[in-house]
Amino acid sequence: MSVPGTFFGIGVGPGEPGLMPVIAWESLKRCDVIFVPRAQTRERSVARRCLPANEIPDERFREIEFTMEADRKRLHEHYASVAETIAAELRVGKDAAWLTIGDPMVYSTYIYTLAALKDRMPELRHRIFPGITSYCALAAAAEFPLGEGKERVLILPCPDEMQELRAAIGAHDIVVLMKISGRLPAVLALLREMHIATNCVFGRHVGMDHQVIHHNLNEMDAEESLGYLATMLIRKSPPQKRQAGVQS
């Protein structure tokens, strides 16, 4: 009987090819099968495009199509089917990896895939490699500190109601806003109403060829910036000049 293979969760970063940990890359190259999620609306997996080109043979990759399914029963059935596909490879001794953009444990399909796989293989051998998130990539590209001193930082999927977002901003120093989608016009209107739009930055496809970054959200056109992989960093107050008056 074969010893089951190991399952690896690998965050490939926010989009720029090669922006992933060396240890994760070395483990990935040794995997027999590499599963890559692909949105039903896309021709190619975004996660796979984050890898260095032509370094791993095409035959090792298996695309898994995903849809934005609201029906929990159908979603459960989908992940159960995906988990069974992966388990079949692991049971014959193959090492397998699951790629995800950003980090595997931050709003990722890997979270649900791992849970479904553990249901089928309680003794599952697995390891998770962290990845660079979209908001860390945006913070670096925009030179936007994500936390100084004892600043309170909230990571928040964009709510439908702007009053909820207003309350979140009021209770924290910085809000990392994700999953914005079509709510972007309402978010911009709120930030302008609160007179904090100049403290915030917006990014989409950070690190990719079609990267978009806005530093002054008062001048940003919402309709031109709608789309997938968007993140906003909201700061309630201008950053303090903590270095002022400090002598070396």
Highest mean pLDDT among 24-33, 50-59, 71-80, 212-221: 24-33
The per-residue pLDDT for range 146-192, each reduced to its tens digit, is 988 899 999 999 999 999 999 999 999 999 999 998 899 999 999 99
Q: Where are the domains of the chain?
A: 6-129, 134-235
Residue 242 is predicted with a pLDDT of 56
Check: pTM over 0.75? Answer yes or no: yes
Name the CATH code of domain 134-235 (choices 3.40.640.10, 3.40.630.30, 3.30.950.10, 3.30.420.40): 3.30.950.10
Residue 69 is predicted with a pLDDT of 59
Pairwise CA distance, residues 28 & 151, whole Å:
37
Tokens of 21: 């940990």
The number of angstroms, rounded, from the C-alpha of 65 to the middle of its chain's C-alpha atoms is 17
Strand segments (E) across 2-151: 6-11, 33-39, 61-66, 96-100, 125-129
Strand segments (E) across the chain: 6-11, 33-39, 61-66, 96-100, 125-129, 153-157, 174-178, 201-204, 212-214, 230-235
Q: Which of 30-44, 142-156, 198-212 has the lowest mean pLDDT?
A: 30-44
Give me the residues paired with residue 176 across strands.
155, 233
248 pLDDT more than 50: no
What residues contact 154, with CB distance under 8 A and at least 6 apart? Answer: 168, 171, 172, 174, 175, 176
81 pLDDT more than 60: yes
The mean pLDDT value for 98-122 works out to: 94
212 pLDDT more than 80: yes
Residue found by looking up tokens 């702007």 in the block: 162
Q: Does domain 6-129 have CATH number 3.40.1010.10?
A: yes
Residues, the chain: 248
What residues contact 55, with CB distance under 8 A and at least 6 apart? Answer: 29
Q: What is the CA radius of gyration of the chain?
A: 20
Give me the residues paired with residue 226 across strands.
none
* Structure letter (DSSP) for residue 175: E
Residue found by looking up tokens 């490879």 in the block: 89
Q: Return left, alpha or beta for 205; rule: phi > 0 is left, psi -120 to 50 is alpha, else beta.
A: left
6-129 matches 134-235 in fold: no
Higher pLDDT, 78 or 172: 172
Pairwise CA distance, residues 33 & 139, whole Å:
33
